[in-house]
Structure 1
Amino acid sequence: MESQNIPPYSDPKQAAHSLLDLVTELAKEVNPDNFDSSTVQLDSSLDQDLGLDSLGRAELIQRTEQQFALTLPSQTLAEIDTPRDLLNAIFNAEQHPTAIKATAEKIELPTASSYPDQVQTLQELLRWHVDQHGDRPHLYVYQDADNVESISYQTLYQQAKIIASRLQDLGIGPGDTVAIMLPTCNAYFYCFFGILLSRAIPVPIYPPARPSQIEDHLVRHSKILQNAETKMLITIEQAKGLSTLLKLHVPALEHIITAEEIEMLSAESVSSEQQQIGNAHPDDIAFLQYTSGSTGVPKGVQLTHANLLANIRAMGKAVGATSDDVFVSWLPVYHDMGLIGAWFGSLYHAIPLVIMSPLNFLTQPKRWLWALHHHRGTITAAPNFAYELCVNKIPDADLEGLDLSSVRHCWNGAEPISPTTMEAFTQRFQPHGFTPEAMTPVYGLAESSVGLTFPLNTRTPRVEWVDRQTMMNSGKAVMNLGGAVINSDKAAADKASNPKGNDDEQQDINALLEHSIPLIGLGHPLPGHQIRIVDPQGRELPERQEGELEFKGPSSTSGYYRAPDKTAGLYHGEWLRTGDRALTMEGELFLTGRVKDIIIKAGRNIYPQELESAVSQLDGIRKGCIAVFASANPKTGTEQLVVLAETKLNDEQQKQKLRDEIQNLSINLLGIPTDVVELCPPRTVPKTSSGKIRRSACKTLFEENKLNAPQRAVWWQATRLFVSSAKPAFLRFKRLAADWGFACYMWLVMALLAPPVWVLVAALPSRQSCWSVARWGARSLIKLTRTKMEITGIDNLPQDDSPYLVIVNHASYLDGLVLLAATGKEHQFVAKSELKENFFARTFLDKLGTHFVERFDTQKSITDSQQLAAFADKPSPLTIFPEGTLYRMAGVHDFHLGAFQIAVEKQLPILPVTLKGTRSILRDKSLFPRKGDIEVIISPLIKPDGSDWQATLALRNTARKIILENSGEPDLARENTR
């Protein structure tokens, strides 16, 4: 406590410290489960960053006046947006204009967090760390399988400055593109930041892995370099011969040089100081991330400094990253998962990054796990195949003494995720300290920097088994096996370890699995980001309905570099297309495949990954070297199902037997035969640098007859294909017609019900009669649209006339109608004041006794809240949507405190009611209703415990926790998802 002889505001620095402590204490009280002390700074937003609504700010001002023994002007409540605003108000209250001008802006506070929250570019980020702890080790780079070299922030910065100076003397300047074709090594990190410090644009590309890839490597990289108009290529000595050929294809390419040659440039040929080129801007392109090309020609994704920092911060918040973590990675640094997720994420959060070459891992997968052991790694990431390699390629003898108990996040992404692999990895390494909760499936893409959805809570992987036939025929995820078979992989493993187990039980499980498709939960959108699933007409689909995945957020690219046509195809209004098919459950993302990879045949959606996975299990087939795709039959013009698989077999009889096995697999798995099975020698199936199958390239090779294999005769299937070709179109039309039919029917029902209901309500003198009519209209709408409404906890509704408040989550404009139909009670609804401007809405709601409150004027909002207290004692409950407004995206947002303050002041109980399903039927800003089910969960009354500020917070937190748990949706406190 400050001295009584010296007012706390007499020293600006001391006053700022005192105020921030006060703000921190209050923000922690208001949001105990979502509090991040790093957000409490002088320029933090009281609303968005700290979660202080109008009542919270009012409480802050009261405590400020008590703390500083002063009286603030009444308009302060409406004027303050940040603690700095309040600090200036403190000085103004004591009339110290000189202090405000000369001292307040120069206040230097100790860093509230160990993270650089205010930096705006990658260059600033590195300089911030150099200033804060330049000698702190940042990178631990494996030079080979055993030797590790550490690089501090200071070393990285100094070496990068040298590179930048020499690049500038070679003519590289702001806006030029410089390609880096280097393996994971010290020079890669120096060169990348050297290019950034020159304000040029790095273009990471991968070096050739083997001689057989030279032609494809040359063709693909020449296209990248042409598109990027690359001025310089930094590469390895072994690739210079190949790189020289690139000059013939890339006119802009002036320099092809190795990192060693840059370092060896004599002092006479370069200047000793970096030229003055100005600072980078947040909206400048930080680097170009060329997509892997698994579905077409590579495209250069433009990622700005603002994009990258937004993504890094959001991922760090989602996983609770701190400088106490240790990231261990073998991921290549020329791809987004290794470059942004591993390196930039570690750089930002001051996390030591232990990194080795991908070759170190691929040759000896155990090295990854032992690096986690030796360095006590807490975070790592890899595609699904890496976990499978660890399961299958590491002998038990190599695991003796291994300890993985330090690992808390094992991200699994970048390719289709197998529930079998996750379960097998967990079982294999659980005896070595690996916890099931550490396995974390995630989803991302280059167009969103890297990350898009992460599980927001620590949990075991979520696997939902849905009915195969329903999914194929209608795209709807209907649960088939339930939770009982989620651990079917474990049952299979138990069976393998106990051959004398129950064969009948195992057969039952296998039979059930044959009729099911596993879908992997990939988490919810990162903070500040949104996703949605749309139909072919671009309208948002309800939950559990498959469609195309779209997203938006601060990490989103502005488009593809020098490709306006491709950029135009990327955008759908303000949303970006992912090219992935997916669905959501309780707001969580579940992928089902690629838009271009989906094969519609015989009226069914065929998912190539599923057949590819099954074929890879056959003896004689090279694992991971199978491509399933659709190709137009040149004779009939219809699509045919093609399986392209690599094998080392040469005997034609053995190969024919393998083709027959693949056919049988397709019939058993999909219910239809394949049209073409092509067996080809090793290294025929093209892949991306990250190991993904390039199905588009496979299709091209097949259609251009470049597989050196004779095409299968198709005369016998021509008639069948011709007849069946109309069925997919018919099913698509049927689904579209059903959607439009329901939407039109629902609007027709509403159009028929609304006029008589409105007229009767407007004309009837008795409020009780008005409510009877309104309730009849709501129930008629639900009944006539055949909407299933399930009510749970109806016995929790109070039966006497004792007053209470009803608190409801807000998901749709249908919420009020559902409450009318479900509870049978007369409610005193609280609605936004904007509705008063509409004659029809005002007339209808007034007759039902609705109270209107202001949402945007802070002072009037508090006045309206205080006036509501006068109505709380009536028998009909005051019914409030504490989120204040509705949102299109699944999730429970912040609850405003007004209703809970009324309950505490009046000592009234609160009835929490949770609505599920209304959002999917009619979303915010949508006029296209969808068929769906509704669930109403009425929880027991909760009573206030006390009469002070803490009691208000406790009541709010309890009610919100109940509704959050019942909704099954993510916690979006302080998230703006509108």
Structure 2
Amino acid sequence: MGIGDRGLLDWLDDASAERGLYYANHGDGWDFWSYRDLRDMVLRTAAALRARGVGDGDVVALVQRSGPGFAATFFGALAAGATPCTIAPPFAFQRADDYERHSAHLLSTVRPRITVCDVESQERVRKIAAATEVPEPVIYDELVAGVEPLDGPLSPPETALVQFTSGSSGFSRGVRISADALRANLTGMRRWLGCTPEYPAISWLPVHHDMGLVGFLLNVVTTGFDGHMLQPDHFIRSPQRYLRRISEQRIAMTAMPNFGLSYILRRVRPADLEGLRFDSLRCVIIGAERIDPGVLDDVHALLGPYGLDRGALLPAYGSAEATLAVTGLTPGEGWSTREPDEGDAGSLAGTAVVGCGRPLEDRTVTVVSEDGDALPDGQVGEIVVSGVSIADGYVGDAGSGSLSGTSIGDRLRTGDAGFLRDGQLFVIGRLGDGLKVSGKMVFAESLETLLHRRGIPERRVAVLLGVRDGRPTGVAVFAGVQDGWRRAAHEVLSEWLGDAGLLAVEVPRGGIAVTSSGKPRRRVMWKALCAGAYEDTTRPLAPEDA
């Protein structure tokens, strides 16, 4: 039987000495931190923050990799009556200048009372903090050195988390999530998945991203089951290590974007799986980006012979403004695909959309027209979410030093396009990443899915759509272009964009602008294109593969 509603710090009262968090180390081993050990770290961190002048409702910024120090800082901020805010460490960005711009914007927005970082991040963050006139960062170990823990947590803050959006549409926005909203979302996920302390989980997701933070770390700790955590680069170097841990520890739950599944397919062969079993997995949550049904089929074909149940693959949908989870498939149900109504917007032949399940309890999802009217099943429009766990709003203007800001309201207009079928949500893509062709919308994510099926790997191509110099235009941005890619892109884009102008932009590998969670920043690249930033590497997208 699953565990129901729990406060964010209730676990401190019954912290287990047997269960806790396992962190992959730099060898092939794992370091264990029991919840009892973590409780002591949390209360010591809370005392240290108060001693540094952190007061009720102040923001504590975390610039740390996943580790016991991150967990202690996050829950320690709450126990000190402060609001934690997670910011990506430098490893999440390939270019130093991109990281500095991104982090400077985030620090300027929240104006933290203190920034807690790890040794790896300190010098970079110190430089950015000085430029933005926020306090110099402190390393976690120095923060807590010699500090005696509080006897217990202080009153929790009204705003329990500032979670930044991915920034795929421009600069990231700081979302104010109340303690009630965060608690409601964790409870909803717990009941959706049937979480109990007997079900161990594993993740390689970065904890600065809401899927890794709320969906994994906070869910694991507040429920009290064993959590096994790798760094993202551990997974990139060896997805086999991640899969071995699932088999050896009889892991029941994990989560990742579509990209993670695609990466496993590229790097893992049946010979790597000999002796492994995946029949313990009951929940593989897939979200954060559009899901390719071909990838789901291929993952089941790879891991099914070793025990993975097709019903364990659980496509889901969420957003930072909804705290995280909005919809998800029930474990064991089995995913399906549907297409919008005949001739409706977004209907690309051969790109049936994966269902992302039904709303979690006390949430409602509708699809509306441009005028805000509810649309019937099968018609594409904007996804609107209402009910519990909607965020309070966005953080106020940079420099205000306040968490006040824009209100989101009871109905969250997500800016995502999708449709409903029999109560299940099917997500197509961002409304701002589409182009109307012959009266119908075509979405960049749909075209990228077709390009991936033509053999162009994810993160190596991005499609941009818009009107440039008065003409509808489609652009394929290639990162380290290879033979055959231009031809494939021309075939796909010319088929679905009609008379639109077609361009190719070639950047070095790693040159596609992405968010800290790896999503293409299409609107940022579109603005750069129109401003002439890619002038030297832009050319017509021709049918020949020159």
TM-score with structure 1 setting the length: 0.52
- Total equivalences in the alignment: 536
Is 1:225 aligned to 2:101, yes or no?
no
- Describe the shift of the 1:147–1:277 C-alpha distance in structure 2 as closer, same or farther (beyond 3 A): closer
- Describe the shift of the 1:668–1:273 C-alpha distance in structure 2 as closer, same or farther (beyond 3 A): closer
**What is the rounded CA distance, in whole Å, between the counterparts of 1:401 and 1:202 in structure 2?**
42
Q: Deviations over 1:191-246 (max 9, x none)?
A: 21222221111111111127842111111111111110112221222332222222
**What is the rounded CA distance, in whole Å, between the counterparts of 1:144 and 1:407 in structure 2?**
26
| Paired position in structure 2 for 1:530 | 364
Segments of 5+ residues of structure 1 without an aligned counterpart are: 1-35, 39-114, 478-513, 715-978
- Describe the shift of the 1:357–1:452 C-alpha distance in structure 2 as closer, same or farther (beyond 3 A): same
Superposition deviation, residue 465 in structure 1: 4.2
| Paired position in structure 2 for 1:348 | 222
| Paired position in structure 2 for 1:279 | 155
2:445 to 609, 630, 633: 609
Q: Deviations over 1:685-714 (max 9, x none)?
A: 101121111111111221121125255579
Question: Equivalences for 1:767-782 in 2 at 5 Å?
Answer: none
1:127 to 5, 8, 12: 12
Is 1:315 aligned to 2:189, yes or no?
yes
- Return the letter of the residue paired with 1:643: A
Superposition deviation, residue 604 in structure 1: 2.8
- Describe the shift of the 1:278–1:351 C-alpha distance in structure 2 as closer, same or farther (beyond 3 A): closer
- Describe the shift of the 1:703–1:312 C-alpha distance in structure 2 as closer, same or farther (beyond 3 A): same
| Paired position in structure 2 for 1:640 | 473
| Paired position in structure 1 for 2:88 | 206
Question: Equivalences for 1:6-85 in 2 at 5 Å?
Answer: none
Segments of 5+ residues of structure 2 without an aligned counterpart are: 398-402, 542-546
| 3-state secondary structure, aligned to 2:325 | coil
| Paired position in structure 2 for 1:596 | 432
User: More deviation in 218-227 or 163-172?
Assistant: 163-172
| Paired position in structure 1 for 2:463 | 628
| Paired position in structure 2 for 1:687 | 514
Q: Deviations over 1:446-475 (max 9, x none)?
A: 1111110012362221112457x7134xx6
Superposition deviation, residue 578 in structure 1: 0.9
| 3-state secondary structure, aligned to 1:209 | helix
- Return the letter of the residue paired with 1:296: G
| 3-state secondary structure, aligned to 2:100 | helix
**What is the rounded CA distance, in whole Å, between the counterparts of 2:268 and 2:331 in structure 1?**
31
- Return the letter of the residue paired with 2:465: A
| Paired position in structure 2 for 1:746 | none
Is the contact made by 2:504 and 2:540 (CA closer than 8 Å) also made in structure 1?
A: no
1:567 to 384, 406, 416: 406
Question: Equivalences for 1:225-304 in 2 at 5 Å?
Answer: 225-251=107-133, 253-264=134-145, 267=146, 272=148, 274=150, 278-280=154-156, 284-304=158-178
| 3-state secondary structure, aligned to 2:506 | strand
Question: Equivalences for 1:850-861 in 2 at 5 Å?
Answer: none
Is 1:376 aligned to 2:245, yes or no?
no
**What is the rounded CA distance, in whole Å, between the counterparts of 2:4 and 2:467 in structure 1?**
54
Superposition deviation, residue 273 in structure 1: 5.3
| Paired position in structure 2 for 1:408 | 282
- Return the letter of the residue paired with 1:662: A
Is the contact made by 1:666 and 1:672 (CA closer than 8 Å) also made in structure 2?
A: no
- Return the letter of the residue paired with 2:343: T
- Describe the shift of the 1:530–1:208 C-alpha distance in structure 2 as closer, same or farther (beyond 3 A): same
| Paired position in structure 1 for 2:351 | 517
1:357 to 207, 221, 231: 231
- Describe the shift of the 1:609–1:166 C-alpha distance in structure 2 as closer, same or farther (beyond 3 A): same
- Return the letter of the residue paired with 1:430: G
| Paired position in structure 1 for 2:344 | 471
**What is the rounded CA distance, in whole Å, between the counterparts of 1:562 and 1:540 in structure 2?**
31
**What is the rounded CA distance, in whole Å, between the counterparts of 1:205 and 1:221 in structure 2?**
7
Superposition deviation, residue 278 in structure 1: 4.2
**What is the rounded CA distance, in whole Å, between the counterparts of 1:459 and 1:632 in structure 2?**
42
| Paired position in structure 1 for 2:55 | 173
Larger Rg: 1
- Return the letter of the residue paired with 1:683: G
TM-score with structure 2 setting the length: 0.92
- Describe the shift of the 1:515–1:671 C-alpha distance in structure 2 as closer, same or farther (beyond 3 A): farther
Superposition deviation, residue 515 in structure 1: 3.3
**What is the rounded CA distance, in whole Å, between the counterparts of 1:353 and 1:335 in structure 2?**
17
CA RMSD for the aligned pairs?
Answer: 2.5
| 3-state secondary structure, aligned to 2:450 | helix
**What is the rounded CA distance, in whole Å, between the counterparts of 1:148 and 1:372 in structure 2?**
13
Superposition deviation, residue 547 in structure 1: 0.6
Q: Deviations over 1:888-941 (max 9, x none)?
A: xxxxxxxxxxxxxxxxxxxxxxxxxxxxxxxxxxxxxxxxxxxxxxxxxxxxxx
**What is the rounded CA distance, in whole Å, between the counterparts of 2:156 and 2:432 in structure 1?**
38
- Return the letter of the residue paired with 1:538: G
**What is the rounded CA distance, in whole Å, between the counterparts of 1:578 and 1:210 in structure 2?**
25
Superposition deviation, residue 617 in structure 1: 5.1
Is 1:540 aligned to 2:416, yes or no?
no
Q: Deviations over 1:620-651 (max 9, x none)?
A: x55422221223323xx3432222122255xx
**What is the rounded CA distance, in whole Å, between the counterparts of 2:42 and 2:4 in structure 1?**
20
| Paired position in structure 2 for 1:698 | 525
| Greater RCO structure (CA 8 Å; 6+ sep) | 2
- Describe the shift of the 1:279–1:618 C-alpha distance in structure 2 as closer, same or farther (beyond 3 A): same
Aligned residues with identical type, % of pairs: 26
**What is the rounded CA distance, in whole Å, between the counterparts of 1:307 and 1:565 in structure 2?**
16
| 3-state secondary structure, aligned to 2:196 | coil
| 3-state secondary structure, aligned to 1:340 | helix
Is the contact made by 1:226 and 1:249 (CA closer than 8 Å) also made in structure 2?
A: no
**What is the rounded CA distance, in whole Å, between the counterparts of 1:278 and 1:210 in structure 2?**
33
**What is the rounded CA distance, in whole Å, between the counterparts of 1:274 and 1:589 in structure 2?**
46
| 3-state secondary structure, aligned to 1:367 | helix
| 3-state secondary structure, aligned to 1:322 | coil
**What is the rounded CA distance, in whole Å, between the counterparts of 1:523 and 1:703 in structure 2?**
38
- Return the letter of the residue paired with 1:599: L
Q: Deviations over 1:78-124 (max 9, x none)?
A: xxxxxxxxxxxxxxxxxxxxxxxxxxxxxxxxxxxxx474x44x22x
Is the contact made by 2:462 and 2:478 (CA closer than 8 Å) also made in structure 1?
A: yes
- Describe the shift of the 1:631–1:116 C-alpha distance in structure 2 as closer, same or farther (beyond 3 A): closer
| Paired position in structure 2 for 1:421 | 295
**What is the rounded CA distance, in whole Å, between the counterparts of 2:208 and 2:371 in structure 1?**
36
| Paired position in structure 2 for 1:154 | 36
- Describe the shift of the 1:188–1:713 C-alpha distance in structure 2 as closer, same or farther (beyond 3 A): closer
- Describe the shift of the 1:623–1:521 C-alpha distance in structure 2 as closer, same or farther (beyond 3 A): closer
**What is the rounded CA distance, in whole Å, between the counterparts of 1:280 and 1:438 in structure 2?**
36
| 3-state secondary structure, aligned to 1:298 | coil
- Return the letter of the residue paired with 1:567: T
Is the contact made by 2:56 and 2:82 (CA closer than 8 Å) also made in structure 1?
A: yes
- Return the letter of the residue paired with 2:14: H
Q: Deviations over 1:359-407 (max 9, x none)?
A: 1111111122111101100111111111111122113322110100111
- Describe the shift of the 1:466–1:538 C-alpha distance in structure 2 as closer, same or farther (beyond 3 A): closer
**What is the rounded CA distance, in whole Å, between the counterparts of 1:524 and 1:211 in structure 2?**
34
Is the contact made by 1:625 and 1:693 (CA closer than 8 Å) also made in structure 2?
A: no
- Return the letter of the residue paired with 2:450: A
Is the contact made by 2:353 and 2:428 (CA closer than 8 Å) also made in structure 1?
A: yes
| 3-state secondary structure, aligned to 1:540 | coil
Superposition deviation, residue 607 in structure 1: 1.4
**What is the rounded CA distance, in whole Å, between the counterparts of 1:599 and 1:151 in structure 2?**
50
**What is the rounded CA distance, in whole Å, between the counterparts of 1:671 and 1:254 in structure 2?**
54
- Describe the shift of the 1:520–1:713 C-alpha distance in structure 2 as closer, same or farther (beyond 3 A): closer
Superposition deviation, residue 145 in structure 1: 4.6
- Describe the shift of the 1:566–1:595 C-alpha distance in structure 2 as closer, same or farther (beyond 3 A): farther
- Return the letter of the residue paired with 1:255: E
